[in-house]
Amino acid sequence: MAIKAKTGAEVIVDVIQQQGVDHIFGLPGGAAIPIFDALVDSPLKLILSRHEQGATHMADGYARATGKPAVVLVTSGPGATNTITGILTAQMDSVPMVIICGQQTTWNLGLDAFQEADVSGISFPVVKHSYLIKDPHDIPRIIREAFHIAQTGRPGPVLIDVPKDISSAVFEPDYNQEFHLPGYLVHGDVDKEEIVEAARLIEASERPILLVGHGAVISGADKALMYLVEKLNIPVVNTLLGKGGFPETHALNLGMLGMHGTAYANKAVDACDLLISVGSRWDDRIVGNVEKFCVTAKKIHIDIDPSEFNKILQMDVTIQGDAKMAVEALLAVARPGNTKEWLKQIERWKKSFPLKYKKSGRLCAQHVIDEFAKQAGSAGIFTTDVGQHQMWAAQYCLTDNRFHWISSGGAGTMGFGFPAAIGAQLAHPHNPVIAVVGDGGFQMTLNELSTAVINKLPVKVLIINNNFLGMVRQWQHLFYGNRLSGVDLEGNPDFVKLAEAYGAKGFRIKRSADVKRIVSAALAYNEGPCIIDAQVSKEDNVFPMIPAGASLSDMILEPPKHTMAKPVGST
């Protein structure tokens, strides 16, 4: 049977469909018109963003909420370069994404033609791989390779640059082209000797801690971790992106560790004699001072990416492989040590150093966030930007589901939370999705309110509005003698009127007494997006806190009475 000739754009859409994709996030332009034209006759649903950065964050949120790769489609030049922040965010947090960019015609490449940019070259430092297609017959193979690379091993973004004459070319496609990528082979079983050695250390340990990182979330190791933890009776801490990898409501979970982790998690890690990391990359916000981090403890590191081994800390045992497979292998052979006295000590720390805030007087950000978490319940999906609101949300929005916490970790991207919530809401239309954002970060991508309104997405945008870039102000207050510079957000809009201008619903909270009622009303509103402008105390700080570059034992639990020394760490 003769193969039907198609345009390159039609072939692109065909192969994307074959990968199981149902949504594409993007914004058109001249160089991408053929591909957008091909979408007209396809079942793929186009989510038209108002900015290309918003499209990448939406795709990111969709991917993290489903575990599946997401697709972005934009045009050339500035359209393509506007995606770089979103690509960096996905790369830092290991999110599978395929970004397709229109490009100038092949005969204009390198001639500074209209809206030409070498985006495949520009993107190389922040992607797993970049392609520039110069032969239309390569389209089926390259699209399939891109999806394979994005999902294989440690996930990440892959960019494909498509010149307009390539997407317009008519040819007979071969959808069965083979590809050979020996560098992206899926590894088999984990090393049995390493598993046995890890089990020996666990049995000999009296004060073990298990650290759950994003790799555990990505691999779906949650059930295996539950069995392992309960078999061994080991307390658990998690990274910011490890939330949900092990149930945060479980009695053995101590919550997040690190710069703004719980006091009892940090004290436990500081005192442990064995630290078992599952899918964590030992971020500087966890380790702080490398020379003083768990100096006497043995360390086990499980990770799919061997380049992470011994990069920050020297390990006693390293186990390369998929986190779920490694945990299941460990579960089969590991035997518990004597952790009875260790668990008693941890309970004493939990009672002595709980998270707390006031529910009267000035409106506390923690109060509003905590109320949303309680009323949304186990169905709630939370997304965040970066900053104070992110840390408070991490402390109070506990989740038992690996797809219900979506936050910009490695890149710390302002403006991420709201568009990511749009992607998450599309993935889970029946769950309450709450974007917890700051008044600074929200203003970077608030134009996507149109996207949420048009698609009737009931996303709740909780703005922790303190009229400051709060985390920077906190640092300037604590370490720079309160010499505030560039953090006052004078000129903020009226966010309730802003919501109404976009056709969304607006709520405002000013008093603690109104929190419960307004949160309930916001969660009940499902006709489209709504904004909750929470006008919180302007100068509250996030505690506990470990100054950047300091050790776990340097943690401060309350406001210091004097200016502290400037931190040696970056952030």
Q: Are residues 160 and 213 in the same domain?
A: no
Residue 565's Cβ-count burial label (10 Å; 0-12, 13-18, 19+) is exposed
Indicate the pairing of strand 157-163 with strand 505-509: unpaired
- Residue identified by tokens 């964050």 is 57
Residues 279 and 388 in one domain: no
Question: Dihedral sign, CA of 282, 287, 290, 291?
Answer: negative
> Position of tokens 């040590």?
337
Q: Per the residue annotation, which of 58, 226, 471, 555 is the catalytic one?
A: 471
Residues 349 and 446 in one domain: no
Q: Is residue 550 part of a domain?
A: no
Q: Based on the fold, state whether residues 380 and 493 are members of the same structural domain.
A: yes
Q: Are residues 338 and 419 in the same domain?
A: no
Classify residue 201: in a domain, yes or no.
yes
State the pLDDT at residue 267.
97
Burial class (CB in 10 A: 0-12, 13-18, 19+), 136: buried
57 assigned to some structural domain: yes
Catalytic residue among 6, 164, 298, 299: 164
User: Domain with 252 in it: what CATH number?
Assistant: 3.40.50.1220
Order of all β-strands in the sheet with 208-212: 253-256, 236-238, 208-212, 274-278, 298-303, 317-320
Containing structural domain, residue 471? 365-540
Active site residue 114: yes
315 is catalytic: no
Active site residue 490: no
* Same domain flag for 346 and 401: no
561 within some domain: no
User: Which of 327, 353, 379 is the last residue before a domain boundary?
Assistant: 353
512 φ, ψ (degrees, to nearest 5): -60, -35
Active-site pick, 6, 10, 36, 52: 52
Q: Per the structure block, which two tokens stand in for 279?
A: 């899918």
Please report the pLDDT score of residue 2 as a whole number. 65
Q: Which two tokens stand for residue 557?
A: 């639990």
Active site residue: 19, 115, 177, 345, which one? Answer: 115
Structure tokens at 145: 């390779």
What is the crossing angle of helices 192-204 and 323-333, to 10°? 60
Query: The tokens of 280 are what?
Result: 């964590």
User: Is 358 part of any domain?
Assistant: no
320 in active site: no
Q: At what angle do helices 222-232 and 323-333 cross, to 10 degrees?
A: 30
Residue 402 in domain: yes
Inter-CA distances, 58 with 71, 180, 248, 485, Å: 10, 31, 26, 32
Q: Are residues 411 and 452 in the same domain?
A: yes
Cα separation values, 491 from 166, 442, 469, 477, Å:
47, 14, 13, 22
List strands edge to edge, sheet with 460-465: 405-407, 381-384, 433-438, 460-465, 530-535, 505-509
C-alpha closest to that of 217 among 209, 205, 225: 225
Which pair of structure tokens corresponds to residue 494?
Answer: 């009226």
Domain boundary among 137, 171, 205: 171
Q: Are residues 36 and 135 in the same domain?
A: yes
Shared domain for 97 and 225, answered yes or no, is no
Can you give the pTM of this predicted structure? 0.97
Residue 559 lies in a domain: no
The structure tokens 């079983």 sit at: 189
Where do we find the tokens 């900053």?
A: 387
Do residues 107 and 99 lie in contact, with contact meaning Cβ atoms separated by under 8 Å?
no
**What is the tally of structural domains in the chain?**
3
CATH number of the domain bearing residue 533: 3.40.50.970
Residue 390: inside a domain: yes
Pick from 119, 141, 171: which residue ends a domain? 171
Residue 75 burial (CB < 10 Å; 0-12/13-18/19+)? buried
Based on the fold, state whether residues 386 and 492 are members of the same structural domain. Answer: yes
Please, are residues 437 and 384 in contact by the beta-carbon 8 Å criterion? yes
pLDDT at 432: 98
Indicate whether 390 and 525 sit together in one domain.
yes
Q: Is 507 one of the catalytic residues?
A: no
Residues 433 and 466 both lie in one domain: yes
- How many CB atoms are located within 10 Å of the residue 85 CB? 20
Which of the following is catalytic: 17, 45, 114, 223?
114
- Phi, psi at residue 162, to the nearest 5°? -120, 105
Along the 571 residues of the chain, how does pLDDT read in single tens digits? Answer: 567 999 999 999 999 999 999 999 999 999 999 999 999 999 999 999 999 999 999 999 999 999 999 999 999 999 999 999 999 999 999 999 999 999 999 999 999 999 999 999 999 999 999 999 999 999 999 999 999 999 999 999 999 999 999 999 999 999 998 888 888 876 668 999 999 999 999 999 999 999 999 999 999 999 999 999 999 999 999 999 999 999 999 999 999 999 999 999 999 999 999 999 999 999 999 999 999 999 999 999 999 999 999 999 999 999 999 999 999 999 999 999 999 999 999 999 999 999 999 888 899 999 999 999 999 999 999 999 999 999 999 999 999 999 999 999 999 999 999 999 999 999 999 999 999 999 999 999 999 999 999 999 999 999 999 999 999 999 999 999 999 999 999 999 999 999 999 999 999 999 999 999 999 999 999 999 999 999 999 999 999 999 998 999 899 998 888 888 888 877 6
